[in-house]
């Protein structure tokens, strides 16, 4: 981190405050648009890592670092630093920096061959993108085994599984949140196959689906897992058409 004033003097002695966040990086390879990487069912991938407060040195520089908390993770991640450099009068200049983390030499990537819709997620009171395929049709996907630069690698023995996510919903009451809809989920393996890919090859798989929630999961020989959730048939959540209608100063900062 380096800070300086517009007239060129270093912001030595100025205070830097900020936070480090960890987020999943689903579309991690810009050279492969539409392909998603990482296990969508993995938990605790989105969290705050550290609070940052430091004083820049006499050259207006400071170092922000954090210990690795993702050694066992097989999904691409992004470390985000959101920081504010304070002027002597206390006014902040805010900047954001991002660092991608690619956890293996290569990972499986999945791209649905059907469109996503903006649907209302009542659990978060927000709209989310969700792939939706017709009930009683075949759900088709493109599969790759790629490095971080988008080079498609040869691989033998990719395990592809179609999983039905059966959800039993119920209402739960708490004094803090009132009535909340929750569910217990059971994963039912409905179909599976093995896929071999040559270098620079994109594989294709297709499975018949009925109405409901599904997850396609691809596991590589290196134990890396990528998965995509999708819905088959009409979902009441898409009736909102994505609307959710159910109810710089004298001090300058750079990262690098």
Query: Measured between alpha carbons, how far is 7 from 203 in angstroms, rounded to an integer?
Result: 56
Phi-psi region of 49 (alpha: psi -120 to 50; beta: other; left: phi over 0): alpha
Domains and CATH numbers, the chain: 2-34+42-104+249-254 (2.60.40), 107-240 (2.60.40.1930)
pLDDT score at 4: 62
Backbone angles phi, psi at 237, to 5 degrees: -70, -20
Give the Cβ contact number of residue 3 at 10 Å.
26
Residue 173: how many CA atoms within 13 Å on its side-chain side? 1
Give pLDDT tens digits along the chain (256 positions).
677 666 777 777 777 777 888 888 999 999 999 999 999 988 777 777 767 776 777 777 777 777 776 667 778 988 888 877 777 777 888 888 888 888 889 999 999 999 998 877 655 667 878 899 999 999 999 999 999 999 999 999 999 999 999 878 889 999 888 998 888 889 999 999 999 999 999 999 999 999 999 999 999 999 999 999 999 998 765 544 434 333 333 444 444 4
Q: Are 55 and 63 in contact (CB under 8 A)?
A: no
Output the pLDDT for position 70. 64
Using CB atoms within 10 Å of the CB of residue 13, give its burial: 0 to 12 exposed, 13 to 18 middle, 19+ buried. Answer: exposed
């Amino acid at each position: 981190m380096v800070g300086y004033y517009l007239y060129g003097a270093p912001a030595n002695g100025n205070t830097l405050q900020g936070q480090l966040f960890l987020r999943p990086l689903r579309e991690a390879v810009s050279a492969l648009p539409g392909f998603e990487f990482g296990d969508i069912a993995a938990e605790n991938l989105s969290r705050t890592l550290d609070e940052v407060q430091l004083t820049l040195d006499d050259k207006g520089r400071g170092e922000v670092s954090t210990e690795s908390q993702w050694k066992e993770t097989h999904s691409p991640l992004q470390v985000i630093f959101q920081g504010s450099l304070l002027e002597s009068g206390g006014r902040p200049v805010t900047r954001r920096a991002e660092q991608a983390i690619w956890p293996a030499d290569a990972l499986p990537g999945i791209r649905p061959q059907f469109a996503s819709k903006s649907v209302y997620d009542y659990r978060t009171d927000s709209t989310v993108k969700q792939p939706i395929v017709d009930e009683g049709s075949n759900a088709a996907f493109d599969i790759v085994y790629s490095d971080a630069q988008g080079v498609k690698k040869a691989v033998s023995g990719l395990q592809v599984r179609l999983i039905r996510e059966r959800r039993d919903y119920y209402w739960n009451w708490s004094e803090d949140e009132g009535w909340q809809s929750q569910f217990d989920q059971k994963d039912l393996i409905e179909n599976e196959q093995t896929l071999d890919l040559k270098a620079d090859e994109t594989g294709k798989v297709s499975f018949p689906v009925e109405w409901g929630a599904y997850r396609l999961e691809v596991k590589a020989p290196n134990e890396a897992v990528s998965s995509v959730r999708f819905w088959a048939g009409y979902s009441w959540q898409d009736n909102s058409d994505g609307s959710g209608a159910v109810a710089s100063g004298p001090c300058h900062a750079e990262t690098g």
